[in-house]
Amino acid sequence: MGANDIIKRVQKGDIKLHELEGHVDPDLAAHTRKQIIEAELNVKLSSIGNYTFDAKSASTNIENMVGSVEIPLGIAGPIKVSGSVVDGDFYLPLATTEGALVASVNRGCSAIKAAGGAVTRIFNNAMTRAPVFKVANVSESLDFINWISENFSEIEQLANSTTNHGKLIGIKPYVVGGSVFLRFSYDTKDAMGMNMVTISVKKVSEFIEKQTPAKLISLSGNLCSDKKPAAINAIEGRGRTVSADVLIPRKIIEEKLHTTPETIVEINTQKNHIGSARAVSIGHNAQAANIIAAIFLATGQDAAQVVEGANVITTAETRDGGLYLSVTLLSLEIGTIGGGTNLPAQSESLDILGIRGGGDPPGSNADAFAEIISAGVLAGELSLLSALGSRDLSSAHERLGR
């Protein structure tokens, strides 16, 4: 069946737009859909329709595909990173439409490398899902959470049976009257793991309903908490909790960044801590979301989880005459397999970092990814705080034509 024939059938109502893949191959379906939208809206979608990957390879990433949207990709670095699982120099692939961002991160990378590199460590790794159950009263709520504790071994075995790689770490209950939220935590290895965790929790929840008076109200009760600003992710973590720090001699701060350690410390205190506290901000940092979003887009991460990823605290103090700077990413949700990481350009970006696919041992690639991202955020924070200290922020944008 040709494109013209299929278009006529869609226009007659015989076939709906979302049903096209059931009648023609994915590339023709996308092309047909694009043509229909162009004709109906009197627009030209030549750039959107000019994609280079096989539409079938994106079938798990998109519905009603008409094409793709290109985002410029830049490279910052290299930056030296000494972590729990990484030790070397890394270029950072950054996809963004914000002029001056890559230049800013690049400047931070240069200063950190001159100082000997960033040190990174991972402190926690747990992807979460929190279903909400309903019981009759608070007495039943207590009985219910006691039952969960007493039967954890059986629940753990059932949860782990749904995946070859994921592992249930724990279940933490939260009670509000007759509503009981169970926050399941999993080690999802190199996958970001939301699908893995959701499938596992569904099976466990069905078992719980059969064994107790509790009724499952929703597989997600928002205590997870996914893609929303939430203090619980700052307190308990979600995904990976990772930190990076560096001690930069005064000479490097003055010569490369044109400011002083004292100025950066003062700005960090007034802006990132006092200003963020006054705004009741979740996350006390200068521009962590900028770097995380750019890396997420480049490497096929779930872009909406920048919300949790930007939950970052930046600290600064003078030490030995220089500047000690750190960032702690409290809830960084990432993966090197699954989701958008399988798309060609995103896979190549992971190749730039040397962490495409599953690691050996499992989880090591995503651990390395987390440590590299934290170093990139450190570079971005250093550069922006320095630009504010030297009062070069607006002039940098003007100079770069942004």
Is-catalytic flag, 308? no
73-125+229-399 and 131-218: same fold? Answer: no
Task: Give the sign of the dihedral formed by CA 79, CA 303, CA 282, CA 276.
Answer: positive
Summary mean pLDDT of the chain? 94
**Structure token pair of residue 350:** 């992971």
| Highest CATH level, class, for 73-125+229-399 | alpha beta
Model pLDDT for residues 277-319, shown as the tens digit of each residue: 999 999 999 999 999 999 999 999 999 999 999 999 999 999 9
List the one residue out of 151, 141, 146, 147 whose CA is nearest residue 181. 141
Q: How far is CA 136 from CA 78, 96, 177, 205, in A?
A: 59, 51, 9, 18
State the pLDDT confidence band at 81, using cuts at 50, 70 and 90: very high
| Domain limits, the chain | 19-70, 73-125+229-399, 131-218
Is-catalytic flag, 187? no
**Nearest-angstrom CA–CA distance, 107 and 76:** 8
Model pLDDT for residues 97-152, shown as the tens digit of each residue: 999 999 999 999 999 999 999 999 999 999 999 999 999 999 999 999 999 999 99
Catalytic residue of the set 226, 236, 302, 333: 302
State the pLDDT confidence band at 168, using cuts at 50, 70 and 90: very high
SS3 label, residue 383? helix
Rg (CA), the chain: 24
Catalytic residue of the set 23, 27, 38, 98: 98
State the pLDDT confidence band at 358, using cuts at 50, 70 and 90: very high
Mean pLDDT value of segment 245-272: 97
Model pLDDT for residues 202-229, shown as the tens digit of each residue: 999 999 999 999 999 999 999 999 999 9
State the pLDDT confidence band at 1, using cuts at 50, 70 and 90: low
Is-catalytic flag, 302? yes
* In CATH, 131-218 is 3.90.1010.20: no
State the pLDDT confidence band at 6, using cuts at 50, 70 and 90: confident
Enter the pTM of the model: 0.94
